[in-house]
């Protein structure tokens, strides 16, 4: 059975002081027994949050990485820097980065390779926008994003990848229905099955993301193909604790 994975994407929220306050409140209220839980602070807070979480099972992720090893890339962060600081996960290809910083599928593929080569886990985001859904090209769009992101990555490494299906129209607005999320995530699994084989498609974990909170966590996590959640806004609140408790229960019930 695939292990549920709940990841908080804090985006450009929380100063280090705020992050530490929040973590000190939630860390003793969270049990990660049998599931994976991580938070992704801003780069400047990662180190302090990591120290605050010493001895706890909550893992740390970064929200981005550059695909080049080092050099003249002002404002960017390399994989070696993140390795040194000790992150476990790296979000790549978030729709906000695709939209605001013109990240392409090719760049996302390069980032995935760099993250996997460092033995870290990429959380690779894919998702269609409202217009693509209205034009009924959302399935093709996702298929292309998944194929391009995973291109050239060997099967053994692929089993460690986490994919997050995040329809852009559902981020920070109103969530997709559980049926839509399940349909799209099973489509992603099918694309992986056809291109990479059954072992990978059975093992790879696929999250849903977009306006999740404790009142919809259970319905998403009960769907057969949904292995976790990438949580934005609700991961900045104590509601995140309740979401993790629900994930724990769902994992045990399955």
* Catalytic machinery residues: 94, 166
Smallest distance from the beta carbon of 9 to ligand PGA, in angstroms? 4
- Toward ligand PGA, which CB reaches closer, 212 or 250? 212
Query: Is the Cβ of residue 78 or residue 227 nearer to ligand PGA in the bound state?
Result: 227
Q: Which is nearer to ligand PGA, 153 or 232 (CB)?
A: 232
Q: Which residues bind ligand PGA (CB under 6 A)?
A: 9, 166, 171-172, 209-212, 230-234
CB of 95 to ligand PGA, least distance (A): 7
CB of 40 to ligand PGA, least distance (A): 9
**b/e for 16-42, b at 16 or more Cβ within 10 A?**
beebbebbeebbeebebeebbbbbbbb
* 3-class DSSP assignment, residue 66: coil
CB-nearest residue to ligand PGA: 232
In the complex, least distance from residue 67 CB atom to ligand PGA, rounded to whole angstroms: 21
Tell me, rounded to whole angstroms, the distance of Cα 63 from its chain centroid: 9
- CA–CA separation, 210 vs 227, rounded Å? 14
Q: Other CB atoms closer than 10 Å to residue 158's CB: what's the count?
A: 20
Q: Which residue has the tokens 């996590």?
A: 221
Structure-block tokens of residue 39: 């938070």
Give whichever of 172 and 198 is closer to ligand PGA, judged by the CB atom: 172
3-state SS class at 180: helix
């Amino acid at each position: 059975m695939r292990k549920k994975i709940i990841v908080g994407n804090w985006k450009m929220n929380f100063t280090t002081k705020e992050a530490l306050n929040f973590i000190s409140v939630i860390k003793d209220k969270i049990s990660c027994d049998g599931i994976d839980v991580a938070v992704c602070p801003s780069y400047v807070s990662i180190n302090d949050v990591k120290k605050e979480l010493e001895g706890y099972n909550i893992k740390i992720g970064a929200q981005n990485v550059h695909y080049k090893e080092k050099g003249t890339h002002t404002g960017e962060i390399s994989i070696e820097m993140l390795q040194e600081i000790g992150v476990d996960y790296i979000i790549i290809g978030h729709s906000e980065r695709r939209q605001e910083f013109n990240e392409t599928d090719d760049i996302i593929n390069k980032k995935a390779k760099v993250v996997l080569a460092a033995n870290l886990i990429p959380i690779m985001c894919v998702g269609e926008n409202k217009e693509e859904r209205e034009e009924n090209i959302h399935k093709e769009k996702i298929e292309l994003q998944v194929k391009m992101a995973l291109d050239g990555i060997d099967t053994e490494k692929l089993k460690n990848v986490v994919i997050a299906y995040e329809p852009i129209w559902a981020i920070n607005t109103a969530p997709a229905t559980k049926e839509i999320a399940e349909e799209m995530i099973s489509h992603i699994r099918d694309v992986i099955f056809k291109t990479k084989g059954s072992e990978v498609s059975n093992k790879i974990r696929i999250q849903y993301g977009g306006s999740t909170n404790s009142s919809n966590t259970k319905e998403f996590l009960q769907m057969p193909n949904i292995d976790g959640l990438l949580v934005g806004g609700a991961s900045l609140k104590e509601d995140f604790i309740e979401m993790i408790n629900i994930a724990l229960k769902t994992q045990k019930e399955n």
